[in-house]
């Protein structure tokens, strides 16, 4: 079994207002707390903390592209980009895919507290019309086309951000 990547992050505090999360990011010390709301995308981030990958799809039969049977969008969209109808939430069960492309990150950006080096990966998942960006928890050498499955930071480990989903080689 390979060495795993570690997150060095402080979990965010969450306020729930009108079913939308408001996050307090303690990123820059007490004087620099950043407040952010996920608004209508809250179900996506709630799903991550519950070990679920949520996407949205168009069910409008008059949509010129999806004709009411649209593929899933992850990250989710609130409105269909083709017909502007409200999108519907759907869980992606047992999310698996393959590495579409990747890069080895040796110096992380500010606020991205993943221990370097790590692989930033773009993952293709069947039935999803977007490429899902994330990080690979394994440190072993990888190749384009390697199969991966989603893993989640839940409970006390959850950061309440997009870092709550990671990819693992299968």
Q: What are phi and psi of 47, to 5 degrees?
A: -60, -45
pLDDT of residue 152: 97
pLDDT at site 23:
67
- In this prediction, residue 18 carries a pLDDT of 56
Q: Identify the pLDDT of residue 8.
A: 65
**Strands, E assignment, 18-87:** 20-25, 34-37, 53-57
Place of tokens 């799809």: 57
Do residues 140 and 124 make contact, with C-beta atoms less than 8 angstroms apart?
Answer: no
Say if residues 128 and 74 touch (Cβ distance below 8 Å): yes
Q: Which of 123, 138, 154 is nearest to 52 (CA)?
A: 154
Per DSSP, helices labelled H in the chain are 42-49
Q: Give residue 113's pLDDT.
A: 74
pLDDT at 130: 94
HSE-up (13 A, CA, CB side) for residue 160: 20
Could you list the mean pLDDT of each consecutive 10-residue stretch along the chain, which spans 170 residues?
67 62 62 73 94 96 83 94 94 97 88 84 95 94 97 91 94
What pLDDT shows up at residue 31? 59
Predicted local distance difference test score (pLDDT) of residue 68: 75
Q: What is the pLDDT of residue 131?
A: 96
pLDDT of residue 11: 58
φ, ψ for residue 144, nearest 5 deg: -60, 135
Q: Which H or E run contains 123?
A: strand 118-124
* 23 and 38 Cβ atoms separated by less than 8 Å: yes
């Amino acid at each position: 079994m390979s060495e795993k990547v570690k997150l060095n992050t402080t979990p965010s505090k969450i306020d729930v207002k009108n079913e939308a999360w408001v996050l307090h990011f303690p990123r820059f010390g007490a004087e620099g707390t950043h407040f952010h709301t996920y608004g209508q995308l809250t179900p996506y981030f709630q799903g991550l903390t519950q070990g679920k990958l949520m996407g949205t799809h168009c069910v409008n039969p008059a949509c010129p592209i999806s004709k009411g049977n649209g593929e899933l969008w992850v990250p989710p969209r609130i409105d269909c980009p083709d017909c502007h109808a409200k999108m519907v939430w759907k869980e992606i069960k047992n999310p698996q895919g393959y590495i579409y492309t990747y890069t080895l990150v040796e110096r992380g950006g500010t606020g991205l507290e993943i221990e370097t080096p790590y692989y930033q990966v773009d993952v293709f998942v069947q039935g999803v019309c977007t490429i899902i960006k994330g990080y690979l928890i394994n440190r072993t050498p990888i190749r384009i086309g390697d199969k991966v499955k989603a893993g989640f930071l839940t409970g006390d480990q959850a950061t309440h951000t997009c870092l709550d989903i990671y990819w693992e080689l299968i």
